[in-house]
Amino acid sequence: MIRARAEVLATIRTFFAARGVLEVATPVLAPCTVTEPHIDSIAVPGYGYLQTSPEYQMKRLLAEGAGDMYQLGPVFRSGEFGRLHNPEFLMLEWYRLGWNDAMLMAEVADLVNVVLGDADASFVRYGALVDTPDDLAYAEACEALSGRWFVTHFPRSQASLARLHDDGETAARFELVIDGVEIANGYHELADAAELAARFDADNAQRAGLGKPKMEIDQPFLAAMRAGMPECAGVALGVDRLVMLKAGCASLDEVIPFR
């Protein structure tokens, strides 16, 4: 299994090298973390937080002019245990300048085809899976999907850091689900600092309603957005789950060396 993981990582790096996408490394420990209500970060007293994704730091690099990039590395989320969850897991995240969500979905499909073998992907709107935004109902609907599916047009309440479509009601966000397993989450990125700050405030209000602590907003990230992040699309992909699917396993227990 260690060799199988190494082969997948080598395949990913070869894929991006052939396309001229730069590999970067950003800190896994930073002073601030995400405000998302349903993600709990792991605090390191006196230092900050283990990062739940490299998103904020990578976008700061984009604003500095680094160009198309990807990162392969560990990320951390508190309390995530189960067949498909672990507090530490391996994430692949990448950004493409001048692209939208449709263009990025095509590249995600290309990468998955290289790793898992060729297969067609289907498309379904979030609203066709669940009548109203509901995380549990959505997760159950995804588990019932067989094959490869891109879920698109998330409601604006689920936009996260994606921009909205022209209808103002749906987000340019997508998720890839393979045989019931959520693999990737991507956006046509929102770069409006004022709108992002408003979303972070809304997140903190929702956290308060859930009895969770308010999270300090990452001001260096917002400063980078105000300075100007280029038009781009980005996506995060769970590598451990991808290895699990490639190996035909049913649980992360079978593919993570230290569990």
**pLDDT tens sequence across 193-250:** 999 999 999 999 999 999 999 999 999 999 999 999 999 999 999 999 999 999 999 9
Position of tokens 């004022």? 194
Answer whether residue 86 is part of any domain: yes
Establish if 157 belongs to a structural domain. Answer: no
DSSP-derived 3-state class of residue 248: coil
Does any domain span residue 185?
A: no
pLDDT at residue 259, rounded to an integer: 76
Question: Does the residue 130 lie in any domain?
Answer: no
| Cα Dmax for the chain | 48
Output phi, psi for 151, to 5 deg. Answer: -95, 130
Nearest to 198, CA basis, from 138, 153, 156 = 156
Number of neighbouring beta carbons within 10 Å of residue 46: 5
Burial classification of residue 197, based on how many CB atoms lie within 10 Å of its CB (0-12 exposed, 13-18 middle, 19 or more buried): middle
* Distance set, CA 212 to CA 35, 37, 107 (Å): 10, 8, 37
Residue 240 domain flag: yes
Q: What is the distance between the alpha carbons of residues 86 and 256, in angstroms, rounded to a whole number?
A: 9
Residue 206 lies in a domain: yes
Give how many domains the chain has, as a whole number: 1
Residue 242's alpha-carbon distances to 11, 37, 111, 112, 224, in angstroms, are 12, 26, 11, 8, 32
Mean pLDDT taken over the chain? 97
- For 51, the domain range is 2-118+193-254
Q: How far apart are CA 3 and CA 51, in angstroms?
A: 27
Q: What CATH number is associated with residue 90? A: 3.30.930.10
Strand partners, 232: 97
pLDDT exceeds 80 at position 13? yes
Q: Please check the confidence at residue 147 and state whether its pLDDT lies above 90.
A: yes
Residue 44 in any domain: the answer is yes
- Residue 255's pLDDT band (cuts 50, 70, 90): very high
User: What pLDDT digit, counting tens, does each position of 58-117 carry?
Assistant: 999 999 999 999 999 999 999 999 999 999 999 999 999 999 999 999 999 999 999 999
Residue 47 counted as domain residue: yes
- β-strand 148-152 against 121-125: which pairing, if any? parallel
